[in-house]
Amino acid sequence: MSDKITNILLVGVGGQGILLAAEILSETFMLAGFDVKKSEIHGMSQRGGSVVSHVRYGKEVFSPMVPEGEGDILFGFELMESYRYLPLLKPGGTVIVNDLCIAPPAVLLGQEPYPEGLELKIQELCPDCLLVDGQNLAIQAGNARAANTVLLGAVSKRLDIEEKFWLEAIEKMVPKKALAVNLKAFALGRSLG
């Protein structure tokens, strides 16, 4: 096991399943034998505000926060939030982003327009970018709320962690009544690879 620490940022808005995805990531890495640290920042998350989770894993990790410019993977659940947190990504880092736009309060109140062309701006800044239609794939799996697990599947293909650890973590963290849908959503996300 190398001394390298892998830094993953999960960003989006409240209600998108970011905290569950961070729990599944952390559990997966622990099952694979890594030291893991996790931190969350909630900005009015219950009202659709920003949510950011930092997950770091490696042989030995001391801090839960990803230093600015050192993120290996930005795992974005919403386009504007993903764009906003790009400075935390290292040069050459990977972006896996849901193609979903959720209007923040200022846009809903007509005070500001939602920025246009975010997909292209993200792809221009980060050539290693996978744009995911998480909502439609989650609907194919059986529930639109499983978009977070679709994205987890896509992220899993970028990390050298055996699939069995991912599946074990999902089975442990997801409620039984939602397990079949989430396993299908994860498989659909992995197929994007």
Angle (nearest 5°) at CA 51 between 97 and 92: 40
- Rounded Cα gap, residues 180 and 67, in angstroms: 36
pLDDT digits (tens, 9 = 90+) for 34-91: 999 999 876 655 556 788 999 999 999 998 999 999 999 999 999 999 999 999 999 9
Tens-place pLDDT, residues 141-153? 999 999 999 999 9
Taking the CB of residue 70, how many other CB atoms lie within 10 A of it? 15
The verdict on pTM exceeding 0.75 is yes
Which pLDDT does position 2 carry in this prediction? 73
Give the start-to-end residue ranges of the domains of the chain: 6-191
Domain 6-191: assigned CATH number: 3.40.920.10
Q: Say if residues 86 and 120 touch (Cβ distance below 8 Å).
A: no
Question: What six digits make up the tokens of 18?
Answer: 């970011």
Beta bridge partners of 74: 9, 95
In the chain, how many H helices and how many E strands?
8, 6
What is the Cα–Cα distance from 166 to 154, expressed in whole angstroms?
A: 12
Strands 129-132 and 71-76: unpaired
